[in-house]
Amino acid sequence: MSKVWFITGCSSGLGAALADAALRAGHRVVVTARELTALNRFSNHPDCLRLAYDVAGGDARAALADAVKWAGKVDVLVNNAGYALLGALEDTSDEEAARCMEVNFFGAIRLMRAAAPHFREQNGGMVVNVSAAAAIANYPGFSIYGAAKAALEAASESYRLEMAPWGVKVMLVQPGPFRTAFISKSLKRTASTNQSYDSNVGKFSTMLTRMDGKQVGDPSKAAEVIVRLATGDRVPLRLVLGTYAKKKTRDTLAARLRELEEQDGSVASTEFTP
């Protein structure tokens, strides 16, 4: 059955790949970006509506209302727009941290809030929130970016439970490295740089630069998987994409379990004695 998708950050990368995959699957798609001209590739598609929408402070209710006016409903909301902030926590200003949280966390939250009444009215819906490997386990230099994605995951878990009575589903996408322009175009660095962190933050920055354009992940294949699962009957809460993210998840969970088992005696000793 044809669905109506609302996708943020469709100018390039995974957002554009998702829009393409949804259109190929016969769905109608509302594509958004800060500038309408960035969506010109979709201008001649009859099943596509282009909207200029800035996740950082845009009117979420108005944007969704425009989508509903065009298609009559919104079935799938995809929060994909975002950017990474690279820099040591000590070097990150309040303004840089706030901007990163605004785009990667609050922008998605506003759309989820705006979609809630619509989903309740139609008794169903789907939210796909694009997270990051940094939310599985974080890296030096990604303190605020990873925090924003981790916050989005926690909010998504709660939203999923709150909206379950109306059949609303939530899927968190945790991608590994995919060959998009994310590193070259959507990776910002803090204005201040402390050389004390060259051995960890600097090393991580160099690794990202060398990786750019050589990532093993194919965004088109990722988009096909997301579209298939988001419109299927069995929707995972967390969709781990790629061998890197899968290994990172396994290693992180194993390390946490080992740590928990090492603390067994201490954990039990904190409870009241009957």
Active-site positions read: 131, 145, 149
Those residues whose C-beta lies under 8 Å from the C-beta of residue 107, and which sit 6 or more positions away, are: 8, 55, 56, 58, 79, 81, 82
Query: What CA–CA distance (Å, rounded) separates 34 from 234?
Result: 33
Dihedral in degrees, nearest 10, Cα atoms 14, 112, 114, 231? 60
Would you give the end-to-end CA distance of the chain in angstroms? 57
- C-alpha pair distances (Å), 161 with each of 146, 155, 156, 168: 23, 10, 9, 9
Beta pairing partners, 31: 7, 50
- What is the rounded CA–CA span in Å between residue 16 and residue 118? 25
Q: What angle do CA 216, 155, 239 make, to 5 degrees?
A: 30
Q: Let me know: does 177 contact 216? Beta carbons within 8 Å.
A: yes
Hey, which residues does 156 pair with through a beta bridge? none
Q: Are 19 and 31 in contact (CB under 8 A)?
A: yes
